[in-house]
């Protein structure tokens, strides 16, 4: 393809992708499948790689991320980034209304909006292009998080990019729009579920997750967190509007995600109606809000009212009360998860909270029980904050019964009686009896058949339970023996001929599931979907993974010592090896056909040791760059080591060994030259 052709194709693809992006993320009206969208994006990225000088800073490919921000630059705000004064009662609002009416003459119109519970962001646009995204910081200056913000699909990179040139909106040459970045509860729950499965500490609530995500150094990880963004305020010199409402309506036309939850109110009673409505209905929203914001609509009136040092006099936030209740802790029970992880559960005397009746709350782990010193019989405070599962925030010590025994965490598995174990860095206790503990056996099978693993959808939890109870399946390999028992299974109540045929067809089909998902399906502790993908791509087949030493495993991006140990432990177990051999014979995929994680093959066949501290790159960056160019990273120096990338304060042992073996030592600059 000639450069000119590539330019045209890139332009066409970018336009179409932005158009679909708008439809999907801003207007919530998608018109193509995710699959086709991804194909177009892949095509664009391929062309941009082939013709790097055609890559534009507002290309839709920027949304995939990849840029690493070492340190976020501090940026001074063009307009002070003020916050709002808070009110907690309708009385407070009456006072606010009085102050406003005293301050300005004429009719007053308020705009009521939701107070989104996320992280504030300011987006600067010049000539229709996003040029900088900044956090609030201390109000005077914030952090430049542009690379991360570009991965948020609801944030337009170029206004009207999805439209023909003629129908693009006319926008001010220079303006700033501010809004709130947030994470929907669905995304938040999915992240936490994955973290739980991988034994990682859970994130507290969507707001904290958003804040943490926005400050991540790797924008590709930010992209994977699927953040969203609502806009709520426009700033600029001589904006062509008379009031806030008009500005928001227009911003929506420019392509910004301005939510529909806006109300024009002429009286305070109308404001109260808006508040009451959302106080009641907020739980039905897919994201968290913590109140309502009330703004004087007219720009002229806003100007007259002005600001205090911290906040505008023309706006106020009304904060909802955090919903808490107190109730009695009747019992602590313990659940055994698929991986053997134990979760203590507080069984409560039912209590009304946030529109539902709460009977149970997670107590997470032994440390939390210890910290709260929560005991059966206690009156506990239950809160429904950002989290869906209510949490116990404390104990009403005044109400503690005279006999309340300190909670003793269980030491044996409640299901199979095996002594529990707890690793050094682990928050949770585990039952190690994975081969004999029923919920673990059944859980392992349900995980194996689940959608993201082997995707045998007619073998869900209930059917697994049934076939296990009837003695047909005791481990995952037995699933593939089920065709032999076709007749007997058909005899089971609820399992008609048709559902058995579906089941067997699903089992047969699963033999084609790619290796990375088979690896995930094995249910190795800490090896979730993403890490399974990385391991499969890097080490290519099951034999390599089974035989890998710790440093070979940790040479893979993001595989830490804990995961490596877990993989090694898994395959050290003879039963697991036998199981894999059985699955191999059955014909499951144990070889990766995915593209290796390489961007070039410049370092193929070369082995590197990275040691010391560096000025330009982090150690992880260097390791990633080695792998992305086909090289291999190992932890120890040996005769096979091709190069040592040596930083400052390199370990003396490594240095001695390198000198003895005559391994070539290079600096980070020399390495950079090698891959350029």
Enumerate the active-site residues. Answer: 115
Q: Which stretch binds ligand IVH (CB under 6 A): 79-87, 204-212, 410-418, 524-532?
A: 79-87
Q: Which stretch binds ligand IVH (CB under 6 A): 80-88, 363-371, 494-502, 548-556?
A: 80-88
Tokens of 298: 């007219």
Q: Does 82 bind ligand IVH (CB under 6 A)?
A: yes
Q: Considering Cα of 506, then 510, then 512, then 514, what sign does the dihedral take?
A: positive
Among 37, 110, 175, 232, the residue binding ligand IVH under the rule CB under 6 A is 232
Q: Does 340 bind ligand IVH (CB under 6 A)?
A: no
Q: 413 CB contacts (<8 Å, ≥6 apart)?
A: 336, 340, 342, 419, 420, 431, 433, 437
Comparison of 293 and 329: residue with beta carbon closer to ligand IVH: 293
Among 19, 113, 144, 516, the residue binding ligand IVH under the rule CB under 6 A is 113
Q: Does 180 bind ligand IVH (CB under 6 A)?
A: yes
Q: Which stretch binds ligand IVH (CB under 6 A): 108-116, 140-148, 327-335, 391-399?
A: 108-116
Comparison of 121 and 222: residue with beta carbon closer to ligand IVH: 121
Comparison of 84 and 437: residue with beta carbon closer to ligand IVH: 84
Q: Does 233 bind ligand IVH (CB under 6 A)?
A: yes
| Nearest by Cα to 130 from 159, 164, 154 | 159
Q: Which stretch binds ligand IVH (CB under 6 A): 87-95, 114-122, 476-484, 540-548?
A: 114-122
Alpha-carbon gap, residue 224 to 209, rounded angstroms: 13
Shortest reach from residue 253's CB to ligand IVH, in Å: 19
Q: In degrees to the nearest 10, what's the CA dihedral of 657, 663, 668, 672?
A: -160
| Nearest by Cα to 185 from 157, 164, 166, 206 | 206
- Three-class secondary structure assignment of 246-297: HHHHHHHHHCCCCCCCEEEECCHHHHHHHHHHHHHHHHHCCCCEEEEEEEEC
Q: Does 115 bind ligand IVH (CB under 6 A)?
A: yes
Shortest reach from residue 369's CB to ligand IVH, in Å: 34
Q: What separation, in Å, do the N-terminal and C-terminal C-alpha atoms of the chain show?
A: 24
Q: Does 83 bind ligand IVH (CB under 6 A)?
A: yes
Among 206, 312, 386, 443, the residue binding ligand IVH under the rule CB under 6 A is 312
Shortest reach from residue 355's CB to ligand IVH, in Å: 22
Q: In degrees to the nearest 10, what's the CA dihedral of 167, 170, 175, 180?
A: -40
Alpha-carbon gap, residue 271 to 317, rounded angstroms: 12
Q: Does 275 bind ligand IVH (CB under 6 A)?
A: no
The answer to whether 434 touches 490, Cβ cutoff 8 Å, is no
Among 72, 116, 590, 671, the residue binding ligand IVH under the rule CB under 6 A is 116
CA 233 to mean position of chain CA atoms: 27
Q: Does 293 bind ligand IVH (CB under 6 A)?
A: yes
Shortest reach from residue 242's CB to ligand IVH, in Å: 18
Q: How many CA atoms lie within 13 A of 471 on its CB side?
A: 1
Q: Considering Cα of 578, then 580, then 584, then 587, what sign does the dihedral take?
A: positive
Chain positions contacting ligand IVH, by CB under 6 A: 82-84, 113, 115-116, 120, 180, 232-233, 293, 312, 315, 317
């Amino acid at each position: 393809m000639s450069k000119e052709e590539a330019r045209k194709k890139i332009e066409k693809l970018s336009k179409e992708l932005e158009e679909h992006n708008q439809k999907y993320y801003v207007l919530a009206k998608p018109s193509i499948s995710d699959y086709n969208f991804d194909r177009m994006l892949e095509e664009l990225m391929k062309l941009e790689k082939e013709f790097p000088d055609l890559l534009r800073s507002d290309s839709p490919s920027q949304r995939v991320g990849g840029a690493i921000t070492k340190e976020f630059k501090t940026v001074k705000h063009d307009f002070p980034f003020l916050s709002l004064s808070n009110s907690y009662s309708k009385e407070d609002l009456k006072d606010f209304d009085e102050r406003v009416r005293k301050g300005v003459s004429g009719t007053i119109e308020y705009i009521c909006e939701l107070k989104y519970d996320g992280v504030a962001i300011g987006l600067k646009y010049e000539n229709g292009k996003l040029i900088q995204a900044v956090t609030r910081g201390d109000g005077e200056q914030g952090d430049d998080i542009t690379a991360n913000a570009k991965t948020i699909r609801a944030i337009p990179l170029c206004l009207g990019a999805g439209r023909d040139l003629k129908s693009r909106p006319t926008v001010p040459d220079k303006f700033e729009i501010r809004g709130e970045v947030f994470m929907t509860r669905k995304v938040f729950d999915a992240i936490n579920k994955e973290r739980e499965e991988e034994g990682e500490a859970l994130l507290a609530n969507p707001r904290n997750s958003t804040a943490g995500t926005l400050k991540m150094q790797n924008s590709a990880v930010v992209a994977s967190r699927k953040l969203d963004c609502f806009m709520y305020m426009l700033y600029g010199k001589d904006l062509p509007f008379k009031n806030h409402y008009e500005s928001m309506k227009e911003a929506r036309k420019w392509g910004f995600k301005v939510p529909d939850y806006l109300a024009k109110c002429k009286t305070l009673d109308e404001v109260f109606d808006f508040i009451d409505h959302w106080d009641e209905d907020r739980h039905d929203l897919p994201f968290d809000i913590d109140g309502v914001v009330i703004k004087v609509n007219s720009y002229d009136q806003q100007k007259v009212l002005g600001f205090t040092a911290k906040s505008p006099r023309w706006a106020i936030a009304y904060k909802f009360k955090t919903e808490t209740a107190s109730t009695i802790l009747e019992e602590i029970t313990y659940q055994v998860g698929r991986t053997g992880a134990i979760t203590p559960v507080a069984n409560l005397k039912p209590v009304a909270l946030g529109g539902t009746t709460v009977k149970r709350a997670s107590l997470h782990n032994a440390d939390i029980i210890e910290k709260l010193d929560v005991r059966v019989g206690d009156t506990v405070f239950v809160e429904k904050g950002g989290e869906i599962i209510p949490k116990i925030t404390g104990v009403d010590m005044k109400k503690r019964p005279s006999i309340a025994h300190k909670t003793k965490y269980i030491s044996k598995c409640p299901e199979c009686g095996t002594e529990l174990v707890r690793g050094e860095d682990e928050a949770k206790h585990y039952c190690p009896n994975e081969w004999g503990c029923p919920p673990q056996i059944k859980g392992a099978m349900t995980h194996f058949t689940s959608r993201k693993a082997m995707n045998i959808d007619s073998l869900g939890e209930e059917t697994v339970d049934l076939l296990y109870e009837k003695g047909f399946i005791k481990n995952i390999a037995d699933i593939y023996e089920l065709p032999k028992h076709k007749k007997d299974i058909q005899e089971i109540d609820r399992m008609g001929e048709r559902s058995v045929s579906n089941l067997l067809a699903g089992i047969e089909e699963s033999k084609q599931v790619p290796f990375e998902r088979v690896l995930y399906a094995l249910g190795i502790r800490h090896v979730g979907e993403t890490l399974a993908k990385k391991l499969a791509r890097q080490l290519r087949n099951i034999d390599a993974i089974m035989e890998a030493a710790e440093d070979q495993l940790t040479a893979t991006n993001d595989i830490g010592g804990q995961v490596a140990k877990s993989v090694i432990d898994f395959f050290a177990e003879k039963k697991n090896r036998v199981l894999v051999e059985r699955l191999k014979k059955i014909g499951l995929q144990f070889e990766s056909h995915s593209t290796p994680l390489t961007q070039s093959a410049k370092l193929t066949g070369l082995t590197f040791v990275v040691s010391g501290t560096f000025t330009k790159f982090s150690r992880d960056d260097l390791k990633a760059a080695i792998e992305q160019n086909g090289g291999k990273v190992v932890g120890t120096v040996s005769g096979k080591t091709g190069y040592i990338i040596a930083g400052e304060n390199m370990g003396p042992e490594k240095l001695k060994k390198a000198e003895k073996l005559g391994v070539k030592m290079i600096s980070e600059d020399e390495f950079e030259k090698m891959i350029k």
